[in-house]
Structure 1
């Protein structure tokens, strides 16, 4: 359990740091330009950031499974796409339930959902800023 918590904290901090760094680039771009191309670029940055977070947690789920912290039910074997799929569904808090973690990997899933909720809120703030600045142009 301690290992799962430490892995979760490491992934949380890595995800938040990378997401905030990428959003910072978006804010700086919006400070310089307010045209449609800049807004599309910022939108792609946000998408890339969320994909990066899902990839980080997918790697964490794989690592946790390798360390014997748990596995996944309803999946006979997990490949990289299954880990990414589960992570992407979980980080968005959608949670389809077609596959789900067992044992201590459930802790990681809970922390990922909380992380996703917080980071989606940060992204929403950037989109609000982008639209608000667009009104002033």
Structure 2
């Protein structure tokens, strides 16, 4: 359990740091340009940041499975796409339930969902800023 918590906290910190850095680039871009192309570019930055977070946690789930911290039920074998799919569904807090973690990997899944909720909130704030600044122009 301790190893799963350490892995989860490390991934949380890495995800937050990378997301904030990418959003910072988006804010700076919006500070220089406020046209539609810049807003689309910032939107792609946000999307890529969320993909990066899902990839980080997918690697974490793979490592956890390799370290015998748990596995996944309803999936006889997991390949890279299954780990990414589960991570993407989990980080968005959608949680379909067709694949779910077992044992100590459940801790990692819970931390990922909390991380996703926090990061989606940060992204929503950036989108609100883009829309609000568009009204000022």
Match of 2:110 in 1: 110
Q: Could you tell me how far apart the structure 1 residues matched to 2:131 and 2:27 are? A: 12
Give 5+ residue unaligned stretches, structure 2: none
Aligned to 2:24: 24
Match of 1:39 in 2: 39
Quick one: distance in 2 between partners of 1:30 and 1:111? 31
Matches within 5 A, 1:1-137: 1-137=1-137
Residue 136 of structure 1 deviates from its aligned partner by: 1.1
Alignment RMSD, CA only? 0.3
Aligned counterparts of 1:89 and 1:119: Cα–Cα separation in 2: 14
Q: Which runs of 4+ in 1 moved over 6 A?
A: none
* 2-structure distance, mates of 1:59, 1:69: 13
For structure 1, the 5+ residue unaligned runs are none
Alpha-carbon offset, residue 93 of structure 1: 0.3
- Spell out, residue by residue over 1:50-81, the C-alpha distance to the aligned partner (whole angstroms, 9 max, x if none): 00000000000000000000000000000000
